[in-house]
Structure 1
Amino acid sequence: MGFSFSWVAVHGKSAEEVLHSVGLVDTGEVASPGATAYAGAVLPGGWYLIWLKEFNHEWTEQLLAESISSECLAVGCTASESVNASRSVFCRDIEMVWEVSHVLDEGEDDLAVEGDPPDSLPAILAGARQRAAQARCDAVFDVPITLAHEICGFRHDAHAGLRFTVLAPTDKLLRSPFA
């Protein structure tokens, strides 16, 4: 079946400020990402990451990523191997800077780009296309994930050594106004 996940990382606010802004509290209980609905970890470089157990979680959507990014930087990433879709979004001070997404059903080379993506995007995409041609796989799937990794240093498949803790929702859990 493959993995499915979402995560949001914030820089420029304390973990407590981030958690308060989304309506979560840290229980202190150690957890593996994906073992609980919400898990949090402090990343090297001062980022705070919230792991979300589901694909395409509403916090990775532009509107909510923008609200989470008030007076700070925020990057969101979501991916699902079962549908071969991935997306990342980067926001600064309540404004989306860029969003990059891939959906295999739209084509092997599908890559939707909005805003002003990092200068590294063409090289990352060229490398993915080369891997796809050699291995006959959906390497473009990894492009949004790689861009998010460049921003905050986190990858879903390379997080050994990070201490994740269970996050519990409060009655002020951030929800989409469209839900």
Structure 2
Amino acid sequence: MGFKISWLAFEALDKATLLDALGFHDTGASDEANEAPFSAAQLPNGWSIIWSNDFGWIETQSVKLPFPTKRTIACQLHEGLMFSAAHGAKDGIEMWSLSHDAQTDLHNLSMTGDLPATFPAIRDRLFEEQKAEDAGSAEVDFIFDIPIELAQSVTGFRHDLWEMDGRRPNWSVIEPKSPPRPQHSFFKWPFKRKGESR
């Protein structure tokens, strides 16, 4: 079935502060394989991250916290639809977004704002790999990885890697403190995904 997830990471913000600001309770139970609906970790490089096994969760989240923040990265991916997206914000203000939707076109890549400096090299390398793939069996969608790798280039985190710099994040199960209430999404989501099932 593949991954159908979303994750949200804040730079230089400790895990406990992030969970409290977003209304989560840390149960303390380990979740090494991210099997719970929500889990969280303090990454070795200082980023704090919340992982959701709900592909659409990130679409309801605001990253404007009650106190100043540095960089924020949101990432969403659905391997069944081959849809991926990454968004970047600074102190609650969206700075850029990047998405790929293979339902629209295999080479689809939509972007807004001032993308990180790592973007051109990631884009060029993966488009070259896609060009070579298209000349052969054309079974792999390399463009899908562009938003994911861009998010990784900022945070150091990638959903399908167990370790960061030789260290495994200490994931724990987290739960909402109260039933989630509908929120106005901070991020702009103009993307329409055909055939989506959650």
Q: Same fold (TM over 0.5)?
A: yes
**Alignment CA distance shift 1:90-1:174 (3 Å):** farther
SS, match of residue 103 in structure 2? helix
1:141 aligned partner, one-letter code: F
More helix per residue: 1
Q: 1:163 aligns with which of 145, 158, 170?
A: 170
Unmatched 5+ stretches in structure 1: none
**Alignment CA distance shift 1:16-1:7 (3 Å):** same
| Structure 2 counterpart of 1:138 | 141
Equivalent-residue separation in structure 2 for 1:177 and 1:98 (angstroms): 18
| Structure 2 counterpart of 1:46 | 46
Q: Which moved more, 1:43-52 or 1:164-173?
A: 164-173
| Structure 1 counterpart of 2:111 | 113
**Alignment CA distance shift 1:154-1:77 (3 Å):** same
Equivalent-residue separation in structure 1 for 2:111 and 2:63 (angstroms): 17
Question: Normalising by the residue count of structure 2, what TM-score does the alignment of the two structures yield?
Answer: 0.81
SS, match of residue 106 in structure 1? coil
**Alignment CA distance shift 1:65-1:125 (3 Å):** farther
Q: Contact conserved, 2:4 with 2:53, CA < 8 A, in 1?
A: yes
2:25 aligned partner, one-letter code: V
Q: Contact conserved, 2:12 with 2:48, CA < 8 A, in 1?
A: no
Q: Which moved more, 1:10-19 or 1:23-32?
A: 10-19
| Structure 2 counterpart of 1:124 | 122
2:97 aligned partner, one-letter code: E
Q: Contact conserved, 1:8 with 1:74, CA < 8 A, in 2?
A: yes
Equivalent-residue separation in structure 1 for 2:129 and 2:62 (angstroms): 31
Mapping for residues 143-154 of structure 1, pairs under 5 Å: 143-154=146-157
Mapping for residues 11-160 of structure 1, pairs under 5 Å: 11-57=11-57, 59=58, 61=59, 64-68=61-65, 71-72=68-69, 73-135=71-133, 136=138, 137-160=140-163
1:119-144 alpha-carbon deviations (Å, 9 max, x no partner): 22122111111111223221010000
Alpha-carbon shift at residue 173 of structure 1 (Å)? 4.3
Equivalent-residue separation in structure 2 for 1:126 and 1:116 (angstroms): 17
Alpha-carbon shift at residue 64 of structure 1 (Å)? 3.0
2:161 aligned partner, one-letter code: A
Larger radius of gyration, structure 1 or 2? 2
Percent of aligned positions that are identical: 27
1:62-97 alpha-carbon deviations (Å, 9 max, x no partner): x73432595112111010110000001111011001
Equivalent-residue separation in structure 1 for 2:147 and 2:123 (angstroms): 10
Alpha-carbon shift at residue 56 of structure 1 (Å)? 2.9
